[in-house]
Amino acid sequence: MPETFDGSVGWPALRQRFADRLPAQTLAGLDEAVAFAADRHGDQRRPAGEPYVEHLLEALQVLVDAVGDRDPDTLRAALLHDVVEDTGTTLDEVRQRFGPRVAELVGWVTRTPGTDRAAYLARLRQAPAEAIDVKLADRLSNVQRLRTHPRPEKRASYYGETVATVVPLAAGRPWFEEWYRHWQHDHADLAEDGS
């Protein structure tokens, strides 16, 4: 069973845990990104009912705890990766508040309205390495508890999409390769029986 990540512990607990690994300036930038994301996502919930912000914290946790990422822009982009796609926030607002590099990374992982899902995922193959890491952490959070998704048909389709389009992005990233390999094996029944 691959490692799972839990955003329900909340930002204060994660911040305390990261304090010995991340500089104070990076933590301050993450404070701002967490507050911004929490404000913009508001009362949004994930399909299984958990607060949306927990998903964002899980993506951050993957990058810091598992991958060892310390780049402040990548870490802030992980927290902000859905703010343009799922709220009324624009990429210009992200750029003004968090800078051009964070906005660029968020832009790469944002599926714009009218964009075909397959085209969006194919485009990611040209993304900078940091944006791919954000996407891999995002999808990891989404699929680590895929069996809790309330719609069985979504479990099967999301498994198939992940294997076909996201798992290949992990090539050359040892920790992600290993995690997704175990995950794919543990969830293979979703492809077989569609439940």
| pTM, 2 dp | 0.95
> Which residue is catalytic, options 86, 93, 161, 177?
86
Residue 194 pLDDT: 47
Instruction: Indicate whether 175 belongs to any domain.
Output: yes
Instruction: Indicate whether 133 belongs to any domain.
Output: yes
Instruction: Specify whether 130 is catalytic.
Output: no
With b for 16 or more beta-carbon neighbours within 10 A and e for fewer, the 37-48 pattern comes to: bbebbeeeebee
Residue 195 pLDDT: 43
Instruction: Indicate whether 56 belongs to any domain.
Output: yes
Instruction: Indicate whether 2 belongs to any domain.
Output: no
**DSSP sequence for 104-172:** HHHHHH---TT--HHHHHHHGGGS-HHHHHHHHHHHHHHHTTGGG-S-HHHHHHHHHHIIIIIGGGGTT
> Contact at 8 Å (CB) between 62 and 137?
yes
Residue 65 pLDDT: 97
Q: Tokens for 141, please give them.
A: 């959070």
List, for residues 155-169, the tens digit of each pLDDT value.
Answer: 999 999 999 999 999
Q: Which domain CATH number covers 41?
A: 1.10.3210.10
d(CA 52, CA 68): 24
Instruction: Specify whether 85 is catalytic.
Output: yes
> Which residue is catalytic, options 6, 85, 161, 178?
85
**What number of residues does the chain have?**
195
Tell me if residue 75 falls in helix, strand or coil: helix
Instruction: Indicate whether 1 belongs to any domain.
Output: no
Instruction: Indicate whether 80 belongs to any domain.
Output: yes
Domain count, the chain: 1
User: For residue 63, what is the DSSP state?
Assistant: I
Q: Is the dihedral of CA 87, 110, 46, 130 positive or negative?
A: negative
Residue 40 pLDDT: 98
Phi, psi of 33 (to 5 degrees): -65, -40
Instruction: Indicate whether 160 belongs to any domain.
Output: yes
> Contact at 8 Å (CB) between 37 and 93?
no
- Say how many CA atoms lie within 13 Å of 174 toward its Cβ: 1
- Domain assignment of residue 163, given as a range: 7-193
List, for residues 119-144, the tens digit of each pLDDT value.
Answer: 888 899 999 999 999 999 999 999 99
Per-run averaged pLDDT (10 residues), the chain, 195 residues: 92 98 98 98 92 97 97 98 96 98 97 85 93 98 91 90 94 97 94 57
